[in-house]
């Protein structure tokens, strides 16, 4: 992402969450009912039209079948390509976080927060949980403007930290975290775009000072990332779109590699969710297009 541009990825992710909340059938995988307030009608329309007009890239058969039904085309693109991973990983992360809060977590650090809305969906945590959102300055400025336009007041427990955390993680730890407080980190939709060395360095530094039993949830791609085509070639499409946007996907892991990297940071894998596990937990028995994305796994790792 360019230095002075807000994240297009965060906007499209918010679009997917807003679409799911408003249009998809129950049960909701992750009901981000605030996401729609952070996207203008013009942006929603632009994304919808761009996706619909690009259906031939995603699937020529669907393009032909629904050429006179743009709403069905948008549903197919959103449910097959855009939404499955952002919805399920957010649902998983917040499920783990809410359990960890009952076990004493006092700080929640959202790395690459984008247009995250957790704070505004859980006002009951205002007195018990400090929420630290970390992202590029342009992305956070964009979000603050949207919150103001939608008449959301920033609560006292929400703190914005503007930085490239992959390069300034030491500053994040030293200046913005209370080292004696049990901490929960989320790192969603980020690891793919970093090298293995960058990920290892980030996790090592994040957990160097926080107390034992602090933990992290993140998603990662397995070692089939660059070989698996996926349903309707969606894995291959994802890689191509990332490359075209100037943010190419760089890393994928075997489970053994991931286990060793976390062990070196004194972390143990408390829970590992494979694509099959994710499908069973979040997508089973659905009658729409939504299904777990191939090659994508979730990890909940805890400091010893």
Task: State the pairing for strand pair 215-221/296-303.
Answer: antiparallel
Alpha-carbon span 106 to 132, nearest angstrom: 11
Residue with tokens 């049960």: 27
Residue with tokens 């603050």: 144
Radius of gyration of the chain (CA): 19
Contact 91, 282 (CB under 8 A): yes
Query: Can you give the residue ranges of every domain in the chain?
Result: 8-82, 85-303
Fold of 85-303: Rossmann fold (3.40.50)
Contact 268, 230 (CB under 8 A): no
Q: Over the range 80-115, which residues count as b (16 or more CB within 10 Å of their CB) and which as e?
A: bbbbbbbbbbbbbbbebbeebbeeebbbbbbbbbbb
Q: Is 272 helix (H, G, I), strand (E, B) or coil?
A: strand
Q: Is 127 helix (H, G, I), strand (E, B) or coil?
A: coil
Q: Is 107 helix (H, G, I), strand (E, B) or coil?
A: strand
Of the chain, the end-to-end C-alpha distance in Å amounts to: 35
Tell me the sheet residues that pair with 303: 267
Alpha-carbon span 115 to 133, nearest angstrom: 10
Task: State the pairing for strand pair 267-273/296-303.
Answer: antiparallel
Query: CA distances (Å), 47 to each of 39, 54, 59, 175, 234, in order?
Result: 10, 11, 18, 37, 18
Contact 130, 160 (CB under 8 A): no
Q: What confidence score (pLDDT) does residue 247 get?
A: 87
Tell me the sheet residues that pair with 273: 298
Per-residue pLDDT of the chain in tens (304 residues, 90 and over written 9)? 444 455 677 889 999 999 999 999 999 999 999 999 999 999 999 999 999 999 999 999 999 999 999 999 999 999 999 999 999 999 999 999 999 999 999 999 999 999 999 999 999 999 999 999 999 999 999 999 999 999 999 999 999 999 999 999 999 999 999 989 999 999 999 999 999 999 999 999 999 999 999 999 999 999 999 999 999 999 999 999 999 988 899 999 999 999 999 999 999 999 999 999 999 999 999 999 999 999 999 999 999 9
Q: At what angle do helices 196-206 and 255-264 cross, to 10 degrees?
A: 40
């Amino acid at each position: 992402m360019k230095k002075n541009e807000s994240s297009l990825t965060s906007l499209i992710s918010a679009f997917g969450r807003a679409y799911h909340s408003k249009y998809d059938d129950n049960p909701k995988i992750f009901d981000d009912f605030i996401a729609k307030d952070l996207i203008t009608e013009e942006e929603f329309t632009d994304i919808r039209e761009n996706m619909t007009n690009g259906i031939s890239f995603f699937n020529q058969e669907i393009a032909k079948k629904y050429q006179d039904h743009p709403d069905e085309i948008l549903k197919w693109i959103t449910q097959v390509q855009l939404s499955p991973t952002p919805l399920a990983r957010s649902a998983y992360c917040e499920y783990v976080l809410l359990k960890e809060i009952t076990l004493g977590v006092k700080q929640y650090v959202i790395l690459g927060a984008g247009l995250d809305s957790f704070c505004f969906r859980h006002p009951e945590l205002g007195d018990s949980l400090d929420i630290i959102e970390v992202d590029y300055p342009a992305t956070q400025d964009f979000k603050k403007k949207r919150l103001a336009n939608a008449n959301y007041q920033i609560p006292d427990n929400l703190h914005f930290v503007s930085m490239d955390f992959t390069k300034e993680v030491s500053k994040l730890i030293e200046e913005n975290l209370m080292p004696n407080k049990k901490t929960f980190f989320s790192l969603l939709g980020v690891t793919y775009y970093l090298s293995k060395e960058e990920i290892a360095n980030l996790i090592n530094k994040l957990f160097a000072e926080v107390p034992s039993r602090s933990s992290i949830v993140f998603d990662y791609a397995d070692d089939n990332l660059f070989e698996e085509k996926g349903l309707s070639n969606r894995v291959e499409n994802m890689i191509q779109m990332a490359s075209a946007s100037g943010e190419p996907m760089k890393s994928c892991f075997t489970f053994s590699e991931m286990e060793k990297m976390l062990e070196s940071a004194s972390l143990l894998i408390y829970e590992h969710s494979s694509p099959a596990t994710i499908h069973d937990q979040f997508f089973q028995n659905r009658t729409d297009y939504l299904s777990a994305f191939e090659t994508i796994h979730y990890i909940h790792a805890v400091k010893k």
